[in-house]
Structure 1
């Protein structure tokens, strides 16, 4: 099995494990959400959320508390019912919206008629009924009503049973109670006077959103009885009369009690508050609750394919925090979405996936290490730790294998770096992944991840691009020679890189710099051309003159051809020597050297009737020069001007100094130089394109340019506005060279 197949097998194993984890987690989350497995934890979270997002207290609700101060002022409980009658008389004068006496008055008393009269003077007076479960004598429920006289005086009776969850905490209320065999349910005491209840739904507990403890306006029973409370504080409000003193026992734990207990009258005030402001906490549908529970787990499952393992911890914490914040946020909108199943899913998915992924990775590492040892690909050896577990041992062995691969890569890299010529190693997509110093020096240091084909075609010259692209498209032709844009010549060989199956994994491009060889080959061709054509021509002319003469030899023509041949030979030999010997100058007076070179051409110029005019404005300037080579170069230049001047014409040679340099300009009166050949004028064997019929092979101007460059100067050729060619030589003066 190759590496690609092994990684594909591991990926397939991960996919199977992921699907199994997703299926198991989804099934458990669904069962927990529908079956309420996390209800105890959800209730605790609900209590914490309730303390963070309490309900607002309605200002219409007023509690008249039977508190410690009232017990101290009026005596031990229970009090005579005449005290309750006096309280109601006081309240009746203030005209409240309603009065609910949250005190069970079941046994008859001598003061019942007095209390009933006080109740009758209040609009909307309500009394509680208590249901005791289980009842006596085998009954399921016993109903305890107020004394008959008092009950008839009330505007309504309602049950005041407190609904507690399994942990004894009050979180909800039943808006009606229906004993066995009753014709219709009895509404809750706090719903009396409100719109008719939906009886089938009212039997289900409704979750309360509690206000913060002691949020409702509260006054003391004794203070009202003494007339210390102004009527304006009572008028138009819903008054609840109940016990708040610690020793009376009517207290229950609620979510917002923060560890303490809340009086029953305050719980009823919260029920009235929910009824007035529609603050009942709704429950989502089963499908919506299931979606909320499954969503975080599935987000985490999907993230396993994209998020790095080190970031998964943060993701799990973030999702858990998001679930909690979402539950609290929905509670402020009177909707409670239990976060327990969603948190259970996160707590289940993360370790389950970590376990299965670790198992799959361990199996993969074990099989791959065994394959490496079996194939002798790497001599891993026994690197297991005696006190390590299985995975740690496998990791240690894998670390050893990776270390040997690094050594192998370094060995290959060092070998590649030691190659004298540029080499590029590319991957299967053609991107450069490895180079050597020669490649960096030849093509630049930023080669990695660039396309090798684009790189090679970019450095190739215009005349080589097409053939190079064809070779790169089909490198089976062996190798190719091409010229780079900077003039260097290379031989390119492309070899494929194959994996264990023989499939292509990339290629190696090896380039050999043959610039020196190409230059030598070009010089050989030029020498052959010189020997076979240019030097052969004058010799053939001499032989023809000798063969056709009738005893009277044209000595002048033979001498001219011989001198031409000698000049070509001297120029060629001097060009070759200049590449081999060092520059050895001596101080010379420039005007003397130029005058001597012009005088040497006097016979040639006189024969054609050409006059050489020397204008010296150099002020006896000194130059450091090799006398023989510079003299020959000036002779070649002046001879070229004489040769292309018309008979009877003038060649002007002007010497001057400018900016620390000697300037020698030569101007003839010929037809000028073709603009097409001006850029190649000083190349070897280049023609100047003049139409005078004078033959020239261009070796003389090439020699002149080489000598001037050897002396640190420059030469340029151009056409004068009045006709003829102008050559300008610029040479540094002796003092400038010394600097």
Structure 2
């Protein structure tokens, strides 16, 4: 298995494991939502949310409490019903909207007629009916009605049963009660003003959003009886009369009670308030509930592909806080989104995915370590600590393998850095990833991430760029030679970098500097051209003259051709010597050296009647020169001037000293220099004349230019204004 396939297999396994975790978690979340598995935890969270976001109380509700001060003032409970009649008479004077006696007055007493007479003076007075389950003698329930006299005086009755959840906490209310499905339901005592008509759905519990404890307006029974409560406080309000004293037992735990119990009359006040203000807590549709339970888990599942593992903890915490915050915020709008299924999903997904990912990673590490030992011959060994678990042991072995690979990479890097020529390592898209010192010197130090093709094209000359680009696009040949803009020559070799599966991962471009080899090759070609052309021509002419049938040999022509051959050979040899030996000057009077050169050409000039005139205004200035090479260079220039001068012409040589330099000008009156040759005048094998009657010897001016450059001077050739050619040599004066 190669690296690419191993990574792909790990990716596929991660995808499969992720899909399995997603399906298992989703199934459990759906089952928990539909089956109410988290109901106990949701109820606890509901109680906590209720304490954070209690409902506002209905200001129209007034509780008249049978409290401890009333018991102290009026005696032990139960009180004579004439006291209740007195209270009803006091309330009748204040004209309340309704009066509900949340007191079970089921046993007939002597004062019932007095209380009944008082009750008829109140509009909308209601009494409770109690249902006891199970009933006696096998009945499903027993109904306990008020005493007959009181039942006849009340406007209506309603059931006052308190609905408790399985943990004994009151969180909801049943708004009607029916003996069976065919019987007319009895409304709840707190809904008598508007009895429910949605039978039989009123039998389903309605979840309450409780107000904070003791938030309803409450006055003492004894205070009302003594006339201490003004009628304005009672007028138009819904009055509930009930027990709040601790010892009388009518108290129940509710979400907002903070560990204590709430009196039954206050629970009924919350029911009446919810009925009036619409504070019943609704539940979302089952599809919406499923979506809200699944979304946090799926967000976490999707985040596993993008979020770093160390950030997942914060993400889980953030999602949990978001779920709880959403439930509390929804409760303020009277909507309860149970957070239990969503929290269960987060609690399932995180460890389940962590387990499966750890198992997949462990298996992958084990396989890769075995492959490294088998294919790469790395002696990793078993470096697992004795007191470490399996994954820690694999991590130790992986650390050892990485260390060995790091050492191997350093070895490769050091080897690359030690190469004498530039080397560039590029990735699959042609960007430089590794270089050596020679490459840094050739291209600059900041090459990381740059295109190899761009870097190579940047140093190549114009003629080489097209061929170089073609080679980089498709290196069919083993190598390519190219020249750089600064005159150097390189051989480029490109080798592909393949991974373990033989797939291309990049290239290595190695450049070999062959500047000296290229120069030697040019020298060889020039020498071959010299031997095959320039030296062969005069020799062939001599042989032709010797082979003629004439009786007299043209000795002058034979001598001229021999002298050309000799001069060409001497120039070539001197050029080679100058490249090998150091510059060794001596003081020389330039005017004397020029006169000697002119005298050496007197026989040649005399044959054509050409006069060489040397004009010296330098006051016999000295220069530091190699006498022999400079003499030969002047002879070459004077010889060219004589050669291109017309018969009986004049060659003028002017010598002057100006601004610390010696200037020598050689001027003839011949046809001048062809403008096409001027840019290449001092290159080898360039023809100097315009006409075809005289052929250049090729090395003459090149030799002169080399000698002048060796003496630290310059030479220039041009056409004189009056006609003919003019050469100007500038040499530094001695000292």
Q: TM-score, normalised by structure 1?
A: 0.81
After alignment, is 233-242 or 426-435 more displaced? 426-435
By how many angstroms is 1:517 displaced? Answer: 0.5
Question: Corresponding residue for 1:330?
Answer: 330
**Deviations along 1:566-625, whole A, 9 cap, x unmatched?**
66556555544554445667899xxx8589759966987996689899999xx9999987
Note closer, same or farther for the CA distance 1:622–1:651 as it changes in structure 2 (3 Å cut). closer
Question: Corresponding residue for 1:50?
Answer: 50
Question: Corresponding residue for 1:402?
Answer: 402
By how many angstroms is 1:550 displaced? Answer: 7.8
By how many angstroms is 1:488 displaced? Answer: 2.9
> Is this contact kept in 1: 2:597–2:638, CA < 8 A?
no
Note closer, same or farther for the CA distance 1:553–1:705 as it changes in structure 2 (3 Å cut). closer
Question: Corresponding residue for 1:129?
Answer: 129
Return the alpha-carbon distance in structure 2 between the equivalents of residues 666 and 190 of structure 1.
133
After alignment, is 183-192 or 678-687 more displaced? 678-687
By how many angstroms is 1:39 displaced? Answer: 0.9
Q: Given the alignment of the two structures, is residue 187 of structure 1 paired with residue 190 of structure 2, yes or no?
A: no
**Does the residue aligned with 2:214 lie in a helix, a strand or coil?**
coil
Question: Corresponding residue for 1:313?
Answer: 313
Q: Given the alignment of the two structures, is residue 413 of structure 1 paired with residue 418 of structure 2, yes or no?
A: no
Question: Corresponding residue for 1:347?
Answer: 347
Return the alpha-carbon distance in structure 1 between the equivalents of residues 721 and 69 of structure 2.
126
By how many angstroms is 1:241 displaced? Answer: 3.2
1:8-19 residue pairs with structure 2 within 5 A?
8-19=8-19
By how many angstroms is 1:521 displaced? Answer: 0.7
1:41-190 residue pairs with structure 2 within 5 A?
41-180=41-180, 183-190=183-190
Q: Given the alignment of the two structures, is residue 381 of structure 1 paired with residue 381 of structure 2, yes or no?
A: yes
Question: Corresponding residue for 1:251?
Answer: 251
1:451-530 residue pairs with structure 2 within 5 A?
452=452, 456=456, 459-472=459-472, 475=475, 477-497=477-497, 507-530=507-530
Question: Corresponding residue for 1:39?
Answer: 39
1:668-707 residue pairs with structure 2 within 5 A?
683-686=683-686, 695-696=695-696, 702=702
By how many angstroms is 1:204 displaced? Answer: 0.9
**Deviations along 1:236-280, whole A, 9 cap, x unmatched?**
433333333433333322222233333323322322232223222
By how many angstroms is 1:538 displaced? Answer: 5.6
Return the alpha-carbon distance in structure 1 between the equivalents of residues 429 and 248 of structure 2.
86
Note closer, same or farther for the CA distance 1:521–1:108 as it changes in structure 2 (3 Å cut). same
Note closer, same or farther for the CA distance 1:198–1:545 as it changes in structure 2 (3 Å cut). same
**Deviations along 1:306-337, whole A, 9 cap, x unmatched?**
44333333332233233222222322332222
**Deviations along 1:42-101, whole A, 9 cap, x unmatched?**
111112222222223333333344444444444444444444444444444444433333
> Is this contact kept in 2: 1:650–1:669, CA < 8 A?
no
By how many angstroms is 1:495 displaced? Answer: 4.0
Structure 1: state its 5+ residue gaps: none
Return the alpha-carbon distance in structure 1 between the equivalents of residues 221 and 678 of structure 2.
121
Note closer, same or farther for the CA distance 1:552–1:394 as it changes in structure 2 (3 Å cut). closer
* Count of aligned pairs between the two proteins: 727
Return the alpha-carbon distance in structure 1 between the equivalents of residues 258 and 689 of structure 2.
109
Return the alpha-carbon distance in structure 2 between the equivalents of residues 645 and 420 of structure 1.
54
Return the alpha-carbon distance in structure 1 between the equivalents of residues 503 and 433 of structure 2.
18
After alignment, is 154-163 or 491-500 more displaced? 491-500
> Is this contact kept in 1: 2:590–2:621, CA < 8 A?
no
Question: Corresponding residue for 2:272?
Answer: 272
Return the alpha-carbon distance in structure 2 between the equivalents of residues 394 and 208 of structure 1.
57
Return the alpha-carbon distance in structure 1 between the equivalents of residues 620 and 332 of structure 2.
105
> Is this contact kept in 1: 2:163–2:173, CA < 8 A?
yes
By how many angstroms is 1:40 displaced? Answer: 0.9
> Is this contact kept in 1: 2:585–2:625, CA < 8 A?
yes
Return the alpha-carbon distance in structure 2 between the equivalents of residues 160 and 443 of structure 1.
95
**Does the residue aligned with 1:463 lie in a helix, a strand or coil?**
helix
Q: Given the alignment of the two structures, is residue 263 of structure 1 paired with residue 229 of structure 2, yes or no?
A: no
**Does the residue aligned with 2:490 lie in a helix, a strand or coil?**
strand
Over the residues paired in the alignment, what is the CA RMSD in angstroms?
4.6
Return the alpha-carbon distance in structure 1 between the equivalents of residues 122 and 236 of structure 2.
12
By how many angstroms is 1:9 displaced? Answer: 3.9
By how many angstroms is 1:532 displaced? Answer: 3.5
Question: Corresponding residue for 1:288?
Answer: 288
> Is this contact kept in 2: 1:673–1:718, CA < 8 A?
yes
Note closer, same or farther for the CA distance 1:683–1:231 as it changes in structure 2 (3 Å cut). farther
Q: Given the alignment of the two structures, is residue 30 of structure 1 paired with residue 33 of structure 2, yes or no?
A: no
> Is this contact kept in 2: 1:652–1:668, CA < 8 A?
no
Return the alpha-carbon distance in structure 2 between the equivalents of residues 193 and 674 of structure 1.
126
> Is this contact kept in 1: 2:538–2:562, CA < 8 A?
yes
> Is this contact kept in 1: 2:568–2:697, CA < 8 A?
no
**Deviations along 1:459-499, whole A, 9 cap, x unmatched?**
54443344445545554543332334444322233445556
> Is this contact kept in 1: 2:655–2:662, CA < 8 A?
no
Question: Corresponding residue for 1:212?
Answer: 212
> Is this contact kept in 1: 2:187–2:195, CA < 8 A?
no
By how many angstroms is 1:41 displaced? Answer: 0.9
> Is this contact kept in 2: 1:644–1:692, CA < 8 A?
no
After alignment, is 204-213 or 523-532 more displaced? 523-532
After alignment, is 636-645 or 68-77 more displaced? 636-645
By how many angstroms is 1:516 displaced? Answer: 1.4
> Is this contact kept in 2: 1:653–1:666, CA < 8 A?
no
Note closer, same or farther for the CA distance 1:13–1:181 as it changes in structure 2 (3 Å cut). closer
By how many angstroms is 1:120 displaced? Answer: 3.5
> Is this contact kept in 2: 1:66–1:220, CA < 8 A?
yes
Structure 2: state its 5+ residue gaps: none
> Is this contact kept in 2: 1:598–1:638, CA < 8 A?
no
> Is this contact kept in 2: 1:642–1:651, CA < 8 A?
no
> Is this contact kept in 1: 2:689–2:695, CA < 8 A?
no
**Does the residue aligned with 2:193 lie in a helix, a strand or coil?**
coil
After alignment, is 152-161 or 517-526 more displaced? 152-161
Question: Corresponding residue for 2:439?
Answer: 439
Note closer, same or farther for the CA distance 1:718–1:552 as it changes in structure 2 (3 Å cut). closer
By how many angstroms is 1:164 displaced? Answer: 1.5
